[in-house]
Structure 1
Amino acid sequence: MEEQVPFVDLNAMTAEVRPQIRAAWDGLLDAGQFVGGPVVEEFEGAWARYCGTTRAVGLANGTDALQLTLRALDIGPGDEVVLPAATFVATAEAVVLAGATPRFADVSPDTLLMTAETLEAAVTPRTRAVIVVHLYGQMADLGRLGRFADGAGLALIEDAAQAHGATWLGRRAGSVGRAGCFSFYPGKNLGAFGDAGAVVTSDDVLADRIACLRDHGRAPGSHVDHVAIGTNSRLDATQAAVLSAKLTRLDDWNTARRVAATRYREAFEYGPVRMVEEAPDARGVYHLAVVRVPDRDRLRDKLAAAGVQTGVHYPVPCHELEPYRRYATGPLPVAERAAREIVSLPMFPHITEDQVTRVCKAVREASGGFGE
């Protein structure tokens, strides 16, 4: 019996960087500095340069990256923040944790990303910001979104938690809006060995405020002068060492993901299963390889029987989750329909040609009766 095609395989990535990480951790053990310090600063500088911004502020996780960015922009009670309903719950969660009110927008039926039109439909006089989510590793059309946001006086924040290295018109995710928020959860394109996150920005004032808030509201250079009500959301040095090691491989790993995604797209071009599209002028990094299918449960059952693991990201749009229904203002038909049809196929940098072939064959066989 053939081995399963896993949904994700992190071991090969770990094997590539294991010697570099071991050496870095030995250095940390010798130095005894595990929170902050030169290892964190080195990663922050490298990540800012990679993203094309002047600053990066390391944080404990991606949810804090969103929440602290909103707080640093003085967005809170009485303010609304527009975000797409098709996203991981953390996007909405961060808005509520900041004290603001989420306003859910629908998405494009082709890309499942927010558009200028769906943003405009959700804006009210109380709206102060928009969080544009680069879902599945595909960047949204930040040209039209940015022009609308600027005209409406909205701060544009990029939720780039799934888009490490993705580009729009050659600009990297996180570098176009007021700030870009990243998660480095282990399964991400750039993943730590635990929770970690960061905000990138070229706004020094904003970066300084986030750096203050992440460290209990401490004033710069002081250990005892607390000038704001902050929290504890520091990136620890052990995770920074992992991220620095993996960053040297990120572009190659993203290229491998795109190769696999191209094969998926070509294989499903004419059948009932179709890949979610990329936005014009964008170059995705395929954190997830997502297809839409008429009968998701049937497809997943058949793929499981064929030894192919799958996932669903995400089966319930945010505005239909119980804690967030109070913020829903009406149906969002595109996001609601897509949530019933999406399936995530195996995707990771070291997926082999044979594994991709097996997935494509299994999908074609499993979907052969659809539409009859």
Structure 2
Amino acid sequence: MSALPHAARSPGRLAIAGGAPVRSPDRPWPTWPQPAPGAAAALAAVLDSGRWAISSPRCGGELYERRFARLFSQYLDVAHCVPVDHGSSALVIALESLGLSHGDVVLVPALTWVATASAVLRAGLVPVLTDVSPETGCIEADGLDLDVDPGAVIVVHWSAVMADVPAITAAVDSRGIVVIEDAAQAHGAQWLGRHAGTIGRLGCFSMQNGKVLTCGEGGAVVTDDEHLAGVLEELRADSRRYRSDEARPGELDLVETATVQGANFCLDEFSAALLCAQLGMLDAQHDIRNRNYARLGELLADVPGVRLLCPLPQQNRISVYEAPIVFDDLPEGRSNRDLADALTAELGVRFYPPREPLDRSHLLRPSTKPALASLAQRFHELHRGRHFPHAERMAGHAVLTHHSTFLGDEEDMVDIAAAVAKVVAANEGGW
């Protein structure tokens, strides 16, 4: 027996064409971001503390930046966490910490946000795009082009699915190639009990406004490598590390160790305080989202040719960032952008297609920066004749919605499934 309402199986005219929507406009969706109960108090504490940055003179107690680093390390069960101002900065200093030579190659997925590739260029390296798995949207070991002699691989956990980092590591480890996890979309996801971001040599996170753990703008690099952790501290704080002794009043908590030239990518105290508060409710939000994601998958089983992107069996916990609904067979004459617009009209919450693969992205144009001329030339040379059919198919057949859509209840999932069924079943006259 179908779990969907009868109206979804016998649809009328679509809302985008003037018909009645599946969901009444007076039923709001959950909003994002959602401040944690202690967020306002934490921000007020910073305001009154006299310390708004880690480079401020010592007064009072522990910096919130240090507190967040400790809490996030404990949450992930990893030895070291170095907070930064953005997820892009996390990628830059992670790459710089490896000591690669100017112009070395780094493999990155063709299906991801542009920062994964542009960070490689910012670090003085050359990104080489890699096609993704048609099942997960993530890169996989068999698809790596090792003939370009990469120094590192950036593995992106995409939307709600983790890549098989152990298999990728096994494929490259003997050649000295370092695996970096871009876990910007995967806070709290787990692979056989290990957290995303802690399986490779380094893990990078974003805490941008839309992420499941957010402070507006922020990021972090995590690692179990004590040497790299110290280098990362210098790279993000103008060649300074945290001192090993306790600073006296008026002194800085940072000392000029200067083993490597750094820059200023420090996380401010307001953002760090907000993250300390937000982290406390992350798992409760995961429980709601993951329960609703599973329920939507059950409901969509009644809709031919439509499925949620499913993780591999080793992924024992998902972290929904953008929930991907895959339309294996698009309606005649319709694109996934058409479907996204139709779903938005039916439900009153935004649905949208993935970004185009990076080889077609107007955001990835290193030749527009004269200082990147030599890297840009090599980038274009290395991509002549390369094609990314799986990334193209995923970009052309998936429809995404933000994770906040999954912070509601089962009735919301019924609405989504009903809208999907209605859009798929609509004939030409229904549009």
Q: Confirm or deny a common fold (TM above 0.5).
A: yes
What is residue 285 of structure 1 aligned with on the other side? 319
What is residue 114 of structure 1 aligned with on the other side? 139
Cα displacement (A) at 1:251? 1.0
Cα displacement (A) at 1:41? 0.5
2:423 partner amino acid = A
1:80 partner amino acid = V
Separation of aligned partners in 2, 1:108 and 1:258: 23
The question of whether the paired residues in 1 share the 8 Å contact of 2:160 and 2:324 is answered with no
Which of 299, 315, 332 is residue 355 of structure 2 equivalent to?
Answer: 315
Which of 273, 278, 289 is residue 257 of structure 1 equivalent to?
Answer: 289
Q: Secondary structure at the match of 1:367?
A: helix
What is residue 274 of structure 2 aligned with on the other side? 242
Deviations 1:120-147 (A, max 9, x none): xx22253110011011132111221111
What is residue 224 of structure 2 aligned with on the other side? 202
Which of 124, 132, 141 is residue 147 of structure 2 equivalent to?
Answer: 124
Q: Residues 341 and 6 from structure 1, CA distance in 2 versus in 1: closer, same or farther, beyond 3 angstroms?
A: farther
What is residue 190 of structure 1 aligned with on the other side? 213
Identity of matched residues, %: 32
How many residues get paired? Answer: 364
The question of whether the paired residues in 1 share the 8 Å contact of 2:30 and 2:407 is answered with no
Q: Secondary structure at the match of 2:347?
A: coil
Q: Secondary structure at the match of 1:292?
A: strand
Cα displacement (A) at 1:33? 0.7
What is residue 383 of structure 2 aligned with on the other side? 328
The question of whether the paired residues in 2 share the 8 Å contact of 1:219 and 1:227 is answered with no
Cα displacement (A) at 1:39? 1.0
1:201 partner amino acid = T
Which of 400, 403, 412 is residue 347 of structure 1 equivalent to?
Answer: 403
Cα displacement (A) at 1:267? 1.8
Separation of aligned partners in 2, 1:108 and 1:40: 37
The question of whether the paired residues in 1 share the 8 Å contact of 2:337 and 2:352 is answered with no
What is residue 367 of structure 1 aligned with on the other side? 424
**Pair 1:144 & 2:162 matched:** no
Deviations 1:303-327 (A, max 9, x none): 2331333343633111222416725
Q: Secondary structure at the match of 2:403?
A: coil
Separation of aligned partners in 2, 1:5 and 1:272: 29
Q: Secondary structure at the match of 1:47?
A: helix
What is residue 171 of structure 1 aligned with on the other side? 194
Separation of aligned partners in 2, 1:257 and 1:139: 16
**Pair 1:214 & 2:236 matched:** yes
Separation of aligned partners in 1, 2:401 and 2:42: 34
Which of 50, 62, 70 is residue 95 of structure 2 equivalent to?
Answer: 70
**Pair 1:22 & 2:40 matched:** yes
What is residue 7 of structure 2 aligned with on the other side? none
What is residue 305 of structure 2 aligned with on the other side? 272
The question of whether the paired residues in 2 share the 8 Å contact of 1:84 and 1:104 is answered with yes
Alignment gaps of 5+ in structure 1: none
**Pair 1:38 & 2:63 matched:** yes
Cα displacement (A) at 1:370? 7.8
Q: Secondary structure at the match of 1:298?
A: helix
Please, what TM-score do these two structures have when normalized by structure 2? 0.79
Which of 134, 152, 156 is residue 133 of structure 1 equivalent to?
Answer: 156
Which of 62, 79, 82 is residue 54 of structure 1 equivalent to?
Answer: 79
2:320 partner amino acid = Y
Separation of aligned partners in 2, 1:92 and 1:6: 37
Separation of aligned partners in 2, 1:156 and 1:370: 47
The question of whether the paired residues in 1 share the 8 Å contact of 2:353 and 2:396 is answered with no
**Which protein has the larger Cα radius of gyration, Structure 1 or Structure 2?**
2
Separation of aligned partners in 1, 2:29 and 2:355: 17
Q: Residues 170 and 347 from structure 1, CA distance in 2 versus in 1: closer, same or farther, beyond 3 angstroms?
A: same
What is residue 80 of structure 1 aligned with on the other side? 105
Per mean C-alpha deviation after superposition, the further-off stretch among 348-357 and 157-166 is: 348-357
